Structure 1
Amino acid sequence: MRFPKRGRRTTSAAVLLTLALAVPLGAQATASPAADRSRAEQPAERQYQVTGADTRAERTAVADTGAAIDEVNGDSLVVTAGPAEAAALRSRGFTTKALPDVADRDEVLAAAPSDYHSYARMSAAVDTLVRQYPDLMSRRVIGRSHQGREIFAVKVSSNVRVDENKPEVLFTHNMHAREHLTTEMALYMLREFGTRYGSDARITRMLDQREVWIVPSLNPDGKVYDQDSGTWRNWRKNRQPNSGSTAIGTDINRNFNYRWGCCGGSSTSPSSQTYRGRAAESGPETKVIADFVRSRVIGGKQQITAHIDWHTYGELVLWPYGYTYADTAAGLTQDDRDAHAAVGTQMARSNGYRPQQSSDLYITDGTIGDWMWGSQKIFTYTFEMYPPSGHRDGFYPPGSVIDRETARNREAVLLLLENADCMYRSIGKAAQYCAT
């Protein structure tokens, strides 16, 4: 998704979403046809332009219908919604305009699925890097998706085979299936760490002093479904069936066990793009990453100190909380908030994104960011990558931008690593919070 206004929208991002390509990439690995039901079994979802929502409260009212807000342009939104959510928007007084389904090749720079690493190609690329840098990288399967695909984390550190007492930093990617640029971000970081260790002073120092965990795809089933047929499907959720409904999928980023379903920031409808699941951590992928994070509590202390969850799009750096408009709330003191904001703003200066609290957009609940801080006290950020809101490329920018837009975040990654030993240093309170 997400925010800031960069001029009026000239061409709908939606026109990218159903571009049919001539040659499919191949069948899904692991999943059987029966396990991966047709999209036709669900109510037809599409993008709509919604007008009349220029405040965070009004945007929250839009999100409360179960529509997924893809971008914000002043008082105009682009949402993905089914017929029920679109009807609910109109009943609440919002104006909706259905956006085109088919790309106009003369006006839109559309990505081909082959521009991005598929799940299979991504896995192979990671294996190659781990073999190339065996003293720096190791691959660990941390669980499996609903359809049985491996969800794995790559550990990167100078003494990778030893679990050392170093601050740990976690990067998670591709929680929402259609956000493929985030997997490219993971691969960029791995290549950069591998090729620059020993020659780049900052990277060398950080991998000597930190343990880094990178999860390139948290939603492999959704990624395969969205990409591997050769036609973009605009798929967001996982591929888990819902009992009593033909609708498929849970929104992993509304399924975490902190303020789950508390505050109108997710949906109870299985057909909704923001369906929160039947219970917190009912999504297998949610539980995989939550269990991994909990496993990093050693001797009663959480070893992971900082985290970025990578999404697209809107060019934003967001921090907790999402479930409340308040800057501070239970478990989030003024100093906690200020340290989040200080490092977040510093990172945003480096990449040109907009820094803000998550709920300044609209209320969300059950998100990984709120859970990371509220449950684990891990400093956490959501990055919404390229393009900016209002840009015609939407969720599927062309492959020609991948190198530029991943490298654009190099400095932000290093800034987080450098602050991860004591985030409160950013507000001048290291002695108070980080004295050993």
Structure 2
Amino acid sequence: MTRPSTLVSSIIATALIVALTPPVVRGSDPWPAPYKTYAQIESEILAVEVANPDIVDVQSIGSSYEGRQLYVVKISDNVLIDEGEPEVLIDALHHGNEHVTVAQALDTIAALVDGYATDPSIANLVDSTVTWVVVAMNPDGLDYDLSVAGGLNWRKNRQPIPRSTSIGTDLNRNYSAYWRCCSVTVRNPASRMYAGPARFSAPESRALRDFVISRAFGGTQRIAIYLSLHAAGRYVAWPIFPRAAGIPVMTIDDRMTMNELVAGMAARNNYRAERYSPTGGTSTDWMHYTYKVPSILMEIGEYTRAVSRFYPSAEAMAAEVAGNRPAILWLIGQAACPADAAGLAVRRCGPRFDDFERAAGWVVNPDGTDTATSGRFERGDPARVRIGRRTMQLGDAASGYRALVTGALAGRYANSYDLDGVTTARSPQITLGADPGNLVFNASFSYGSTATSADWFRVWVEAEDGTRTLVHQRLAASRYRWAAYTEVRVSLARWANQSVRVVIGAGDVGRPSLVEVAVDDVRVERR
């Protein structure tokens, strides 16, 4: 990200008088009032930064196809310092004709900035959370839409399509998750919902992708909640990924968390609470699929089939924006523990939770001493391995569908991909408090009748100085043990106020034998 260029004196002067409030009716206002051009949006957010430098920082995350800067507004105390606080990302105007989303984004900035000095609850939000607001994802489409009085009802960006006379990609069909999955119209360059010639082919969607990537540290995504503003329909919704969609990435915890966040918003703005199946290439699909971040869509304003729904009156815009403000502020307040709304705080909101549904910074063979020739640890969807009617490797995870397993595949024989040798995996660093919760995980350790006590499954806690303490061990015996998950709980009290790592290991080092290990839902619980 880069800082915007030096502000001209006219913007500095504007800083003292600008107010990011919904538009008001002025009968003499020329088109495009009450809708804002991108130059107006840019002037307003830069002016707010000048007037509030302690809590507002405007950054460029890239450029649109036509070269307009794509700005994100950061709001937080000590705004120029990365304090590691939970973050919320809000974006607006993926579609150039959805002007009410701009008003909502600007209102969110104003509510946080203006309320910081006057409202203790808002001051607490700003002090404890980072809020990022992208006011206009599609500035080219916005200005083109407003270039003719009455509006052009232009949805896409303004990027030419290779080998076509059509212009524009629907930015909210251009993300990688389920890209082009769900409708033939997204493959037609002339369609208003054209998904583009490739995933992230639009510079605007790439810019948001790269910004989100920049907020991941040590295998953990700092953005805790994502809200994408659209129009219209008067509902808030979360994406559900059924197995029929291709890749089932959702756990029960995910569903409960997003359902309760959406319900909480709907209770505050009187919108409908809904869920939706993937529509293909949307930002909310991508965000949850990639980072497991609760991702919420809000459709602002009354839905009709008329084009006029994209051009509401100033009064209608102001009413919708004001009505949504409590819901958005409440959502920002959930960033410290999004799962708390679903009653999952102990399980999900401690210093670490890994369900292995996405890459989260675990390192296989961290010491470079593993000897496994097959069956080394991998994060995968395990295939069921049987001997007769008995299961040696479960065909599922403890939650979701991925786990840390010794050889996820199933071959012709039961031992085709089982562990041979020693394999280890180490977690990212985990910072513990003065009274840390327990280390909890689910594990399956199975073996054949030729196994011996030389074959093992072990878990260590690695202290800051690199020393490791064995906290859990299972040894094999010369009999069959079938696959089954069991929960293990380990006290971390001796490592209070330290940063630790969890190391998981498995060994098949005795005589040739069948050994399989699976680990899932590794977490340090919240006190």
Following superposition, the deviation at residue 404 of structure 1 comes to: 2.0
State the partner residue of 1:369. 284
* Partner Cα distance (1:288, 1:163) in 2: 20
Aligned to 2:145: 226
Tell me which residue corresponds to 2:59. Answer: 140
| 2:73 corresponds to 1:154 | yes
Return the offset for 1:244. Answer: 1.4
Between Structure 1 and Structure 2, the one with more strand by share is 2
- Give 2:269's aligned amino acid: N
Q: After superposition, where does 1:408-427 map in structure 2 within 5 Å? A: 408-427=323-342
Would you say the 8 A contact 1:254–1:266 is kept in 2? Answer: no
- CA 277–342 in structure 1, closer or farther in 2 if over 3 Å, else same: same
Three-state SS of the structure 2 residue aligned to 1:114 is coil
1:121 maps onto 2:40 in alignment: yes
**Alignment-derived partner of residue 207 in structure 1:** 126
**Secondary structure at the counterpart of residue 419 of structure 1:** coil
What is the aligned partner in structure 2 of residue 197 from structure 1?
Answer: 116
> For the residues of structure 1 that align with 2:242 and 2:306, how far apart are their CA atoms?
29
Structure 2 counterpart of 1:426, which letter?
A
Residue 289 of structure 1 corresponds to 208
Give how far 1:159 is off: 1.1
Q: In the TM superposition, what whole-angstrom CA distance separates every residue of 1:266-308 from its partner, at most 9, and x where no partner exists? A: 5111001111111100011110101100110112211001011
Q: Which amino acid aligns with 1:122?
A: I
Does the 8 A contact of 2:182 with 2:279 survive in 1?
Answer: yes
Aligned partners of 2:263 and 2:201: how far apart in 1?
34
Match in the other structure for 1:382: 297
Question: How far 1:329 moved relative to its partner?
Answer: 6.0
1:347 matched to 2:262? The reply is no
Other-structure match for 2:371: none
- Compute the displacement of 1:263 (Å): 3.2
**Residue among 218, 238, 241 paired with 1:299:** 218
After superposition, residues 15-34 of structure 1 pair within 5 angstroms as none
Q: Following the alignment from structure 2 to structure 1, what is the Cα–Cα distance between the partners of residues 163 and 92?
A: 30
* 1:203 to 1:325, Cα distance in 2 relative to 1, 3 A: farther
Q: TM-score, normalised by structure 2?
A: 0.59
Instruction: Please state if 1:320 is matched with 2:235.
Output: no
2:311 counterpart residue number = 396
State the shift of 1:421 in Å. 1.4
| Distance (Å, rounded) in 2 between the aligned partners of 1:197 and 1:351 | 22
Following TM superposition, by how much is the alpha carbon of 1:374 offset from its aligned partner in structure 2, in angstroms?
A: 0.2
The gaps in structure 2 that reach 5 residues or longer are 1-29, 352-527
The TM-score with structure 1 as length reference comes to 0.71
CA deviation profile, 1:174-220 (whole Å, cap 9, x unmatched): 00000011111111111111111022121111110000100000000
Q: How many residues of Structure 1 are paired with residues of Structure 2 in the alignment?
A: 322
Asked whether the equivalents of residues 139 and 153 of structure 1 are also in contact (C-alpha less than 8 Å), the reply is: yes
| Pick aligned residue for 1:171 from 90, 94, 119 | 90
SS at match of 1:338: helix
Structure-2 residue corresponding to 1:256: 175
2:347 counterpart of 1:432: yes
1:387–1:393 CA contact under 8 A, matched in 2: no
Q: 1:152 to 1:277 in 2, by over 3 A?
A: same
- SS of the aligned residue for 1:401 comes to helix
Q: Tell me by how many angstroms 1:387 deviates.
A: 2.0
8 A Cα contact 2:238 2:276, kept in partner: yes
The AA in structure 2 aligned to 1:347 is M
Aligned residue for 1:420, secondary structure, equals: coil
Query: Which residue does the alignment assign to 1:337?
Result: 255
SS in 1 for 2:333: helix
- Supply the AA of the counterpart residue of 2:285: D
Preserved contact between residue 146 and residue 285 of structure 1 (Cα < 8 Å): yes
SS at match of 2:39: helix
Report the Cα distance in structure 2 between the residues aligned to 1:256 and 1:182, rounded to whole angstroms: 20
Structure 1 residue identity aligned to 2:177: Y
Structure 1 Cα separation of the partners of residues 77 and 322 of structure 2: 22
The structure where helix makes up a greater share of residues is 1
- Identity, % of aligned pairs? 36
**Which amino acid in 2 is paired with 1:404?**
A
1:400 deviates by 2.2
Q: Distance in 1 between matches of 2:307 and 2:219?
A: 48
**Aligned 8 A contact 2:242 2:248 in 1:** no
Q: Is the 8 A contact 1:196 1:203 kept in 2?
A: yes
Letter in 1 for 2:227: I
The residue number in structure 1 matching 2:378 is: none
Q: Distance in 1 between matches of 2:140 and 2:59?
A: 18
Check conservation: 1:387, 1:397, Cα contact below 8 A: no
